[in-house]
Structure 1
Amino acid sequence: MDHFSIIQALCRAAMADASPALRKQIERLRDALAKDGDAKQSAALTSILTTADRTKELSPSRIERSKAQNPGEVLTRNTPVPVDRETAAALADIIFPADIQPTAPLFNATVSQAIETIIEEWANFEALSEIDIRPSKTCLIYGAPGTGKTRLALWIAQQLGLPVVLVKLDGLVSSFLGTTARNIGNLFTFANRHRCILLLDEFDAIAKVRDDPQEVGEIKRVVNALLQNLDVRRDIGFTIGITNHPKLLDTAVWRRFEVQLEIPKPDFEMRKAIAAHFMPPVKAPDIHLRLIAWFTEGSTGAEIESLVRTYKKATTVREEDKRGLLDTLRQFATLNAARVQSERRALLFDDSSNLFRAMRDDPILGFSMADIGEIAGKDKSTVSRQLGRSAKSGEGEVLNG
């Protein structure tokens, strides 16, 4: 069939919110292709139908209960989003559950448990309503850039089976300063009319301290409009705000959010888990994962993912061009100097004996001489001798001093 790739894309988009009649037509097309001998194209449509079924089965009880708590019209891919009156630019993006990765983000046990609590509240809305309690309807997620805040918000929506109305507020402020308050009103009106999660990204762009002398009167009016709209929406739907700069938020904004969830930078074990998560299909030794976790102290998940990409490229190029782990770390530290803790970076480019000693003596890393030797491409006796010579040299300097 000519242009089947376009037909395939249309079918995939349609199945995200398909009626029984629409599904029937896709099944007819699949069967017709199979009858005409186009087995490959027929199988592609079967795959689309199967994927749609699996997506629908992910959490049916949660979807139905969340609908009960979120009255309104159903968002579809054909629903027009509000636009700026002067420029006709869309004020939001719509992201559907089928387009969101179902894999849970990686956080420490405390954060993961808190997130599960939010989801369980919405999944058990009926039980809570019997004791006159409602799920939390506003959630502020804050933390350093790259810690997974936006991905977490989207995953929560995916778990609840709700589409996301994603708004990047920094774009509204910088591009449409004179009409920002009106645009915000239109966005909230749109979100309140539909069954969805309203996700306000770059929240600090608008929700700034109102008594900041550097801000013009327009921003102050925008903050007031935002507060009023948040107050109205809290009785209608679920709203999530995201910010990298919590200190910039007005205290009145903080009070509008029932849940205030901080996403910390990952600790050693989480950094190792993140490295392992992004490593496939490459199989990295455990000591490599541990060293990556140690090297990325103070880093975010996004920065660890970037280092893992560098590692994977270094281990899959031509044999004569392959780098050892230490050389790969030095390359990454050179190209990403601002993202690497200065102490770790200094050790990488210092005398190797100082790096070996730090690796040996760090209780979290827990490396043996054999581990260090494997990473450095030396046998453990060579590493031991190098450390011994370094120690004697240090003692001599102390005596001479």
Structure 2
Amino acid sequence: MDHFTIVQALCRAAIADASPASRKQIERLRDTLAKDGNSKQAAALTSILTTADRTKELSPSRIERSKAQSPGELLSRNTPVPVDRETAAPLADVIFPADIQPAAPLFNATVSQAIGTIIEEWANFDALSEINIRPSKTCLIYGAPGTGKTRLALWMAQQLDLPVLLVKLDGLVSSFLGTTARNIGNLFTFANRHRCILLLDEFDAIAKVRDDPQEVGEIKRVVNALLQNLDARRDVGFTIGITNHPQLLDTAVWRRFEVQLEIPKPDFEMRKAIAAYFMPPVKAPDIHLRLIAWFTEGSTGAEIESLVRTYKKATTVREEDRRGLLDTLRQFATLNAARVQSERRALLFDDSSNLFRAMRDDPILGFSMADIGEIAGKDKSTVSRQLGRAIKSSDGEVANG
């Protein structure tokens, strides 16, 4: 081929950041040259393709390149973590990306989009650096227990391919009150030396309001030590704090976190999605998922998961021992009374006609007579008669009133 050196240079430039289509064309050219007897030229293109493959295998991803911008030693499974001097108890656990579930936690679209921006910032570390901007390096995640805060933090670490240094601050305080400040200093020194995400769980255990008259002077000194260490780490690595009690946090603590992410309790559609996520391998009808979502109003993801486990048990036992959905819900409400909204619990144990009426009239649930009948194990006419009695009873009460 004439001017092959130019063609070779073009191929080498194209393969550096090649799309699948570009690579395919280079492979077609190589095969054509080989077929026409230009074995040396075909071999040259083969060498270009092979070199590109090896470079791709060895080159870090965008996120891995970003990690290289953060100085620090690699944290391995053999790296000893700091311990308390008096008890030799480890002050933290190390969790590696390979040990974290890769499935993204379920949140509403607004929260998911916000989380995505944090991941994108780190994935585009180099581009941000060019305009003198850095990714957010501190994040406070707060919300009710069971809303998935810790799971979210671990998933973010998995996405960033960074190990997690997990510190349970409540245990640290209760066990080592006299040396807590020193232990905190040792933990931050260790975290700052390694490439990792520092995850401070039960953050409110230490970061309490400093002017609380119920707190001893030691805790106040510990809070100050924590603030100083957070300040020192801002330019070093990624730190995540988690709390169920944001109202207990010192205002100075809030200012240390660039991102302050509240995880809300799931709405109806998210509760249904969470139920569907935990349901396999059991296949539940859509109306069952909708009723579970309706029944769990005000519940967290962890509470919905617990109900789904109860449902799966009830549908898997012997045929003669199986419970209907309403009986399963009543069983769960009895064993988990504090986790079920009182209004929903009252309807479950009230006259079934009142429950049917509430199910029919709820616009979010959107049940037809046939849906109610299928769930209750009754035909439509029976459901209709029971609803008629409920309406007459309600009208009578209004008239008497």
- Report TM bin, short chain: 0.7 to 0.9
> SS in structure 2 opposite 1:364?
coil
Q: 1:196 to 1:400 in 2, by over 3 A?
A: closer
Measure how far apart 1:390 and its partner are. Answer: 2.0
- Would the aligned equivalents of 2:188 and 2:233 in 1 still touch at CA under 8 Å? yes
Percent of counterpart pairs with the same letter?
93
Q: Residues 60-81 of structure 1: CA distance to partner in whole angstroms, max 9, x if unpaired?
A: 5244133123210000000000
- Would the aligned equivalents of 2:195 and 2:237 in 1 still touch at CA under 8 Å? yes
Structure 1: state its 5+ residue gaps. none
Measure how far apart 1:37 and its partner are. Answer: 45
Q: 1:23 to 1:375 in 2, by over 3 A?
A: same
Map 1:36-75 to 2 at 5 A.
61-75=61-75
Q: 1:11 to 1:315 in 2, by over 3 A?
A: farther
Measure how far apart 1:391 and its partner are. Answer: 1.5
Q: For the residues of structure 2 that align with 1:306 and 1:258, how far apart are their CA atoms? A: 34
Moved more, 53-62 or 298-307: 53-62
Q: Residues 234-267 of structure 1: CA distance to partner in whole angstroms, max 9, x if unpaired?
A: 0100000000000000000000000000000000
Map 1:163-178 to 2 at 5 A.
163-178=163-178
Normalising by structure 2, we get a TM-score of 0.85
> SS in structure 2 opposite 1:378?
coil
> SS in structure 1 opposite 2:389?
helix
Q: 1:58 to 1:356 in 2, by over 3 A?
A: farther
- Would the aligned equivalents of 2:356 and 2:387 in 1 still touch at CA under 8 Å? yes
Measure how far apart 1:95 and its partner are. Answer: 0.2
Q: Residues 341-379 of structure 1: CA distance to partner in whole angstroms, max 9, x if unpaired?
A: 000000000010110000000000000000000000001
- Would the aligned equivalents of 2:63 and 2:124 in 1 still touch at CA under 8 Å? no
Moved more, 62-71 or 279-288: 62-71
Q: 1:343 to 1:286 in 2, by over 3 A?
A: same
Higher alpha-carbon Rg = 2
Measure how far apart 1:396 and its partner are. Answer: 2.9
- Would the aligned equivalents of 2:163 and 2:197 in 1 still touch at CA under 8 Å? yes
Measure how far apart 1:127 and its partner are. Answer: 0.1
Task: Spell out structure 1 runs of 4+ moving beyond 2 A.
Answer: 1-60, 393-401
> SS in structure 1 opposite 2:61?
helix
- Would the aligned equivalents of 1:119 and 1:160 in 2 still touch at CA under 8 Å? yes
Q: 1:383 to 1:24 in 2, by over 3 A?
A: closer
Q: For the residues of structure 2 that align with 1:333 and 1:316, how far apart are their CA atoms? A: 20
Measure how far apart 1:303 and its partner are. Answer: 0.2
Moved more, 69-78 or 5-14: 5-14
Measure how far apart 1:58 and its partner are. Answer: 14
- Would the aligned equivalents of 1:81 and 1:91 in 2 still touch at CA under 8 Å? yes
Q: Residues 306-360 of structure 1: CA distance to partner in whole angstroms, max 9, x if unpaired?
A: 0000000000000000000000000000000000000000000001011000000
Q: 1:56 to 1:112 in 2, by over 3 A?
A: farther
Q: 1:106 to 1:76 in 2, by over 3 A?
A: same
Tell me which residue corresponds to 1:129: 129
Aligned residues: 401
Q: 1:213 to 1:287 in 2, by over 3 A?
A: same
Measure how far apart 1:34 and its partner are. Answer: 38
Moved more, 390-399 or 170-179: 390-399
Moved more, 258-267 or 19-28: 19-28
- Would the aligned equivalents of 2:173 and 2:205 in 1 still touch at CA under 8 Å? yes
Measure how far apart 1:56 and its partner are. Answer: 13
Structure 2: state its 5+ residue gaps. none
Q: 1:195 to 1:350 in 2, by over 3 A?
A: same
Q: For the residues of structure 2 that align with 1:90 and 1:220, how far apart are their CA atoms? A: 24
Q: For the residues of structure 1 that align with 2:89 and 2:21, how far apart are their CA atoms? A: 34
- Would the aligned equivalents of 2:162 and 2:196 in 1 still touch at CA under 8 Å? yes
Tell me which residue corresponds to 2:100: 100
> SS in structure 1 opposite 2:139?
strand
- Would the aligned equivalents of 2:66 and 2:126 in 1 still touch at CA under 8 Å? no
- Would the aligned equivalents of 1:169 and 1:206 in 2 still touch at CA under 8 Å? yes
Q: For the residues of structure 2 that align with 1:340 and 1:231, how far apart are their CA atoms? A: 42
> SS in structure 1 opposite 2:199?
strand
Q: For the residues of structure 2 that align with 1:282 and 1:45, how far apart are their CA atoms? A: 53
Q: For the residues of structure 2 that align with 1:200 and 1:294, how far apart are their CA atoms? A: 34
